[in-house]
Amino acid sequence: MQEITTPNTHHAPAAHPSVIHKMPRVHYLNANYGWRSWLFTVDHKRIGILYLVSITFYFVLGGIYATLIRLELATPQGDLLKAETYNKFFTQHGIIMVFFFLIPSIPAVLGNFLIPIMIGARDVAFPKLNLASWYIFNLGGFFMLYAVINGGVDTGWTFYTPYSSQFALGNVAPAALGIFIAGFSSILTGLNFIVTIHAMRAPGMTWFRLPLFVWALYATAIIQILGTPVIAITLAAVGLERLLHLGIFDPAYGGDPVLFQHLFWFYSHPAVYIMVLPAMGVVSELVANMTRKRIFGYTFVAFASIAIAVFGFMVWGHHMFVSGQGMYAGMIFSFLSFALSIPSAIKVFNWTATLYKGSISYDTPMLYAFGFVGLFTIGGLTGLFLAAMGLDVHVTDTYFVIAHFHYIMVGGALMAYLGGLHFWWPKLAGRMYPEGWGRLSALIVFVGFNLTFFPQFLLGYAGMPRRYHAYPEEYQVLNVMSSAGASILAVGLAFPIIYLIWSMRYGPVASANPWGAIGLEWTTSSPPPTENFDHSPVVTWEAYGFRPLEESEVVGQMTPDDRPA
Amino acid sequence: MSAEVIGNHRVNHPDGHDRAESALAHHFENLEQQREAGTLGMWVFLVTEIMFFGGLFMAYIVYRTWYPAAFAEASHHLDVRLGGVNTVVLIVSSLTMALAVYSIQVGARRSTMIYLALTLALGLVFLGIKFIEYKHKFEDGLIPGAGFKFEGPYYADAQMFFTLYFTMTGLHALHMIIGVGILLVLIALVWRGKFSPEYHAPVELSGLYWHFVDIIWMFLFPLLYLVGTHLS
């Protein structure tokens, strides 16, 4: 297999100017050239890059809306934006960030790139379907952008009926159509992953030798295939109601608008796990590889992913405690929501237990992993506040909710996405990112994020409702803090975009395994060849089977393990 | 692939093995793995389809529980005979589809063609009958919306029944139309001799899809057409 040039570059991967690595002569990036070779590619790695480009575009767009929202909220008066414009901006921020950035982020970029390599396959099971999913995603994005350009949508990303179906002024149908279409790209990605993980594993790659990232994306795929069709048909029904007056949620026909909420959250609550389960998978990889220890309680972490996927479908009613849902239904949903915190807690405890006596690296990916664990814990615990029926009544539709889910989605999913992107960047681009800038950005993101969203917990608890462009003066101090934090966060997020692009050309060439990590993706060259491996790998070692550092310096990191497992 | 086991059929298809080899995509180790992946993929796809229809079935359950009398009353406006005929048509089409899959497995290309054509014809008969039914509803003013005509106390709730009727059968008909398209492609491929006993996964998987669409109808028919007889 691949020759390991530097068995131990663990502590300062990019800072060894004495060691010059060579890129392989032919790899997936230079195997062929021209726009056709990208737009008609069926290589899962290139499709991952295509997704990376698309979602970065949507991320920047959604970020611009966020900036304008925070600018408006810096003063109590509604002076920058009109109320109607503000409504459109927070709606579009939500739609873009949820459906066009977070949901595809880790699965479609890192998942597409890594899963076949991690399991030792040449590609995903259905490469053409994989490419089709990217086109479908962009077609959905086209309709969503059409809705935005054509005057915007103002329903909130939740599209609650009857406002969305009967009263909202326009563009609900194209926006819903965009999400409907983009949903199928998510379904196809999930379908591809399930089949790939079942049918394409290399000889010896048993289920319990799989990296935990693969387990997490398998669990995610379950949600993608079971949940996404439901929101598709639900939004289709809203569209039909607007266009053809077939009102399934129309009270004039005896319809129930609350049924929409049930169907919407049946997907959209599990959708949170579409965002955060892959993030957990990334963090499992980072924690294990950056502490050089097998993850504590591998099977528990693996099954916790599956448990979250399954039980995530049973808690949607906690979004509807004040929507006229029955009290007993509310109690059951509340109880189940509390129960769902158990598998999440298992993961958090197992990550922290893994740190114990590990040789911890403080490189950029690990900084993001630390950030994830802390912020996800805060986001998760405040989630329990919201799952308690009594307290939820007090903070429903306030900034407390906003802060909570941003801690999960930004503090959790986005941090892990960035951590993963840095960790696998040498594999993806064949070059290292600048470590100093990486650490600095991670720090800025962490500080900026907390300054942005922690004050919002306090605002929400003090009663500031969400979705208004003006507010009483007493809330100004905390809002200014939040807006200031947002500007810091924006700087921290702009840095990686710049230096990652810079590093594609000027970064030091990465070795096959710059982290001294364990996993099949580190046994092939950086960047990998089009078919991933020169020879189909045969797996004879357990996941995360690290050798002691001294030993690995002698025998090499990834020499297949001849020790008894 | 063992040529001995399938030796009988190689007589009909001297180049069957080569075709099978060329059908192996680059990223699979062997045809067995490719077939396994395809089959699992199709089943997973059908699961997503169940969830897709599931949202509408959920709406049906809720509203039927709330308005049983209105649903019974409205159901009487559907033509049980035409619906019943269509049910039989689809069951028979499932049989012919299954026979087509069997035929290609044993390498009988001619009978595969015949059975696929029969399935196609039955699918078109179903869609034709469905069109006639829709036309009757249109003439009777049973289209939900401003022009909806329904006598009796259940004016509003009967609209919900017909909303669900049109959405659910419409979505089903859309799947039938896609199925007809798939059959046309299959017939062309069989005609050009693309399949053999070694490689016929597309026929098998299309068969799965066709049966799934039939099964959806097996649920729609009693829920929409027979609910009146049951409830009143």
Q: Which residues of A touch B54 (CB under 8 A)?
A: 229-230, 233
- Section B134-147 average pLDDT: 88
Q: From first to last of the 565 residues of chain A, give the pLDDT tens digit.
A: 343 443 343 443 444 445 678 888 889 999 889 999 999 999 999 999 999 999 999 999 999 999 999 999 999 999 999 999 999 999 999 999 999 999 999 999 999 999 999 999 999 999 999 999 999 999 999 999 999 999 999 999 999 988 998 888 779 999 999 999 999 999 999 999 999 999 999 999 999 999 999 999 999 999 999 999 999 999 999 998 888 888 899 888 889 999 999 999 999 999 999 999 999 999 999 999 999 999 999 999 999 999 999 999 999 999 999 998 889 999 999 999 999 999 999 999 999 999 998 989 999 999 999 999 999 999 999 999 999 999 999 999 999 999 999 999 999 999 999 999 999 999 999 999 999 999 999 999 999 999 999 999 999 999 999 999 999 999 999 999 999 999 999 999 999 999 999 999 999 999 999 998 989 999 999 999 999 998 889 998 889 988 777 776 666 655 554 443 3
Tokens describing residue A163:
């406002």
Collapsing DSSP to helix, strand or coil, A470 comes out as coil
Distance CA A529, CA B140 (A): 65
Cross-chain Cβ contact A254/B53 below 8 Å:
no
What's the confidence (pLDDT) of residue A245?
80
Which residue on chain B is closest to A232 by alpha carbon?
A: B52
| Residue located via tokens 């020790």 | A563
Q: How far apart are the first and last CA of chain A?
A: 21
Which residue on chain B is closest to A256 by alpha carbon?
A: B63
| Residue located via tokens 């965009």 | A178
Sign of CA dihedral B13, B15, B18, B22: negative
Distance CA A195, CA A123 (A): 12
- How many residues does this entry show for chain A? 565
* Residue B8 confidence class, pLDDT cut points 50, 70, 90: very low
User: Interface pTM (ipTM) of the complex?
Assistant: 0.90
Closest CA to A419 of A275, A521, A272, A284: A284
For the stretch B85-120, pLDDT in tens is: 999 999 999 999 999 999 999 999 999 999 999 999
What's the confidence (pLDDT) of residue B2?
37
A301: containing domain: 41-555
- Complete domains list, chain B, with CATH: 28-231 (1.20.120.80)
The answer to the question of residue A564 being in a domain is: no
Q: Which residues of B touch A253 (CB under 8 A)?
A: 144, 156-157, 159-160, 163
Q: Which residues of B touch A41 (CB under 8 A)?
A: none
The answer for residues whose C-beta is within 8 angstroms of residue B216's C-beta and 6 or more apart is B53, B172, B175
Closest CA to A289 of A113, A543, A563: A543
User: What's the Cα-to-Cα distance from B143 to each of A18, A245, B13, B63, B203, rounded to whole Å?
Assistant: 78, 10, 54, 18, 38
The answer for residues whose C-beta is within 8 angstroms of residue A284's C-beta and 6 or more apart is A211, A212, A213, A216, A295, A301, A347, A351
Instruction: Tell me if B120 sits within 8 A of B180, measured CB to CB.
Output: yes
What's the confidence (pLDDT) of residue A254?
87
Q: What angle do CA A73, A79, A83 make, to 5 degrees?
A: 80
Collapsing DSSP to helix, strand or coil, A132 comes out as helix
Compute CA A109 distance to the chain's CA centroid, rounded to the nearest angstrom.
10
Which residue on chain A is closest to B55 by alpha carbon?
A: A230
For chain B, give the mean pLDDT.
88
The answer for residues whose C-beta is within 8 angstroms of residue A201's C-beta and 6 or more apart is A119, A120, A121, A210
CATH assignment of the domain containing A330: 1.20.210.10
Which residues are paired to A498 by β-bridges?
none
The answer to the question of residue A1 being in a domain is: no
Kind and range of the H or E run holding A279: helix A257-291
Distance CA A234, CA A225 (A): 15
The answer to the question of residue A294 being in a domain is: yes
| Residue located via tokens 């159509």 | A177
Which residues are paired to A509 by β-bridges?
A431
CA–CA min distance B70, chain A (Å): 10
Question: For A126, which of B41, B54, B62 is closest by C-beta distance?
Answer: B41
Distance CA A517, CA A546 (A): 8
Distance CA B161, CA B173 (A): 18
Cross-chain Cβ contact A195/B70 below 8 Å:
no
Instruction: Tell me if B196 sits within 8 A of B51, measured CB to CB.
Output: no
CA–CA min distance B8, chain A (Å): 30
Query: Exposure string (b/e) for A64-97, b if CB count within 10 Å is 16 or more?
Result: ebbbbbbebbbbeebeebeeeebbbbbbbbbbbb
User: What's the Cα-to-Cα distance from B204 to each of A259, B24, B43, B102, rounded to whole Å?
Assistant: 38, 16, 12, 9
Closest CA to A525 of A428, A433, A434, A423: A428
Packing angle of the helix pair A127-149, A44-72 (nearest 10 deg): 20
The answer to the question of residue A120 being in a domain is: yes
CA–CA min distance A125, chain B (Å): 7
Instruction: Tell me if A473 sits within 8 A of A464, measured CB to CB.
Output: no
The answer to the question of residue A63 being in a domain is: yes
Tokens describing residue B146:
């401003």
Q: Which amino acid does the sequence have at A79? A: D
Q: Is B45 on the interface with A (CB under 8 A)?
A: yes
- Tally C-beta pairs within 8 A across A and B: 115
CA–CA min distance A249, chain B (Å): 9
The C-alpha R_g of chain A, in whole angstroms, comes to 23
The answer to the question of residue A116 being in a domain is: yes
Q: Which residues of A touch B44 (CB under 8 A)?
A: 191, 194-195, 225
Which residue on chain A is closest to B143 by alpha carbon?
A: A246
Q: Which of A248, A265, A532 to substitute to test the interface with B, most B CBs within 10 Å? A: A248
Distance CA A98, CA A59 (A): 10
| Residue located via tokens 């966060």 | A489
Q: Is B147 on the interface with A (CB under 8 A)?
A: no
Which residues are paired to A431 by β-bridges?
A509
Cross-chain Cβ contact B55/A536 below 8 Å:
no
Cross-chain Cβ contact A259/B62 below 8 Å:
yes
Closest CA to A110 of A456, A375, A477, A365: A365
What's the confidence (pLDDT) of residue A15?
44
The answer for residues whose C-beta is within 8 angstroms of residue A25's C-beta and 6 or more apart is none
Question: For B160, which of A229, A244, A254 is closest by C-beta distance?
Answer: A254
The answer for residues whose C-beta is within 8 angstroms of residue B23's C-beta and 6 or more apart is B31, B34, B194, B199
Distance CA A336, CA A312 (A): 9
Q: Is B31 on the interface with A (CB under 8 A)?
A: no
Packing angle of the helix pair A44-72, A476-506 (nearest 10 deg): 150
* Residue B14 confidence class, pLDDT cut points 50, 70, 90: very low
CA–CA min distance B9, chain A (Å): 28
What's the confidence (pLDDT) of residue B154?
87
Which residues are paired to B77 by β-bridges?
none
Compute CA A334 distance to the chain's CA centroid, rounded to the nearest angstrom.
25
The answer to the question of residue A562 being in a domain is: no
Instruction: Tell me if A15 sits within 8 A of A435, measured CB to CB.
Output: yes
Q: How many folded domains does chain A comprise? A: 1
CA–CA min distance B21, chain A (Å): 18
* Residue B231 confidence class, pLDDT cut points 50, 70, 90: low
Cross-chain Cβ contact A232/B40 below 8 Å:
no
Question: For B52, which of A126, A192, A232 is closest by C-beta distance?
Answer: A232
What's the confidence (pLDDT) of residue A365?
97
Distance CA B195, CA B123 (A): 23
User: What's the Cα-to-Cα distance from B1 to each of A200, B13, B21, B102, B109, rounded to whole Å?
Assistant: 19, 15, 10, 19, 20
What's the confidence (pLDDT) of residue A394?
94
Q: Is A134 buried (19+), middle (13-18) or exposed (0-12) by CB count in 10 A? A: buried
Q: What is the largest CA-CA distance in chain A?
A: 77
Q: Which of A197, A223, A233 to substitute to test the interface with B, most B CBs within 10 Å? A: A233
Question: For B59, which of A196, A248, A252 is closest by C-beta distance?
Answer: A248
Q: Is A332 buried (19+), middle (13-18) or exposed (0-12) by CB count in 10 A? A: middle
Count of CA atoms in the C-beta half-sphere (13 A) of A227: 28
Alpha helices in chain B (DSSP H): 7-12, 16-22, 31-66, 68-75, 80-105, 109-139, 155-191, 201-220, 227-231
pLDDT at B20 over 80: no
Which residue on chain B is closest to A266 by alpha carbon?
A: B55
